[in-house]
Amino acid sequence: MLKPLFTKNEIGDAVKRLASCIENDFGDEEILFVCLLKGSFIFLSDLIRCIRNPSTVDFMRVSSYGTAMKSKGEVTVTKDLEESIEGKNVIIVEDIIDSGLTLKIIKKMLLERGPKTLKICALLDKRARREVEMEGDYVGLTIDDGFVVGYGIDYAEHYRNLPDICVIKKDK
Ligand code: PRP
C-alpha cells in the first residue's frame, strides 16, 4: 500500500525554498549541477527551472550498494561526468541521503577534480539511517525511516513516475 508523505505541492514548495537559498548564496555566478542518476532526474528538472543563475547540467550514475562481491560502501561509477568540473561552482543534486555512503564517496571523488566550490543539494534527508558523517548543504525535507518512492525514487525500478512522495506500507 502506498501512503502519501509529501504531495506534489509540498514538494514544489520545498524545491522553491532550495532554489532561493542557492540563488542567494551564488549571486549571479554560474553553477554546474551534477545530477546523480537515476533517482534525482525529476528533482533536478524542477530545481534548475527555479534558478535564474547561468547554469549547466551533467549526469553521473553510480551503483551504491555493490554486488555480492563488494561490501556496502563501495561505489562504482557506471557513467561519469562529461564535463570537467575544475574551477567551477558545482552542486551535486541528490534525491535522498540515507546512510550517506554514496555522497561521502562521490564528494571525495569530485573534490579531487578541483572544483571552485562543491555543495550538496538533497531533496530528502533520512537522518536516522546515517552511517557516516554527511551533511547536505541544502536540504529540502527531513524524513523518518521507512521506504519512500515517487518523484524519481524507485522500488525495484517502479514508482519513479508518481508525482507525490509516498511511503510503502506492508498490507495487513
Ligand atoms: C539511492 C539514492 C541515493 C542513494 C542514497 O540510489 O538515489 O543516490 O541511494 O543512499 P545512501 O545515502 O545510503 O548511499 P540508488 O542506488 O537506489 O539508485 P537510483 O538513484 O538509480 O535509484
Q: Report which DSSP code applies to 129.
A: G
Q: Which amino acid is at 62?
A: V
The pLDDT tens digits of the residues spanning 128-150 come to: 989 999 999 999 999 997 899 99
pTM beyond cutoff 0.85? yes
- Average pLDDT of the chain to the nearest whole number: 93
133 C-alpha to center of ligand 1: Å? Answer: 16
Q: Which amino acid is at 138?
A: Y
pLDDT at 32 exceeding the cut of 80: yes
Structural domains of the chain ordered from first start: 8-143 (3.40.50.2020)
With a 6 Å cutoff on the Cβ, whether 48 touches ligand 1 is: no
With a 6 Å cutoff on the Cβ, whether 36 touches ligand 1 is: yes
- Alpha helices in the chain, H assignment, sequence order: 8-26, 41-48, 101-111
Q: Report which DSSP code applies to 153.
A: B
C-alpha angle 80-23-143 in degrees, rounded to nearest 5: 70
Do the Cβ atoms of 48 and 121 come closer than 8 Å?
A: no
Atom 14 of ligand 1, residue of closest alpha carbon = 102
pLDDT at 66 exceeding the cut of 80: no
Query: Ligand 1 test: best mutation among 40, 96, 157, most atoms within 8 Å of CB?
Result: 96
Q: Report which DSSP code applies to 161.
A: T
Residue-wise over 133-153: b if at least 16 C-beta within 10 A, else e? Answer: ebebebbbbebeeeebbbbbb
Instruction: Tell me if the bond preceding 8 is cis, omega within 30° of 0.
Output: no
Band of pLDDT at residue 73, cut at 50, 70 and 90: low
pLDDT at 70 exceeding the cut of 50: no
**Mean pLDDT along residues 20-33:** 98
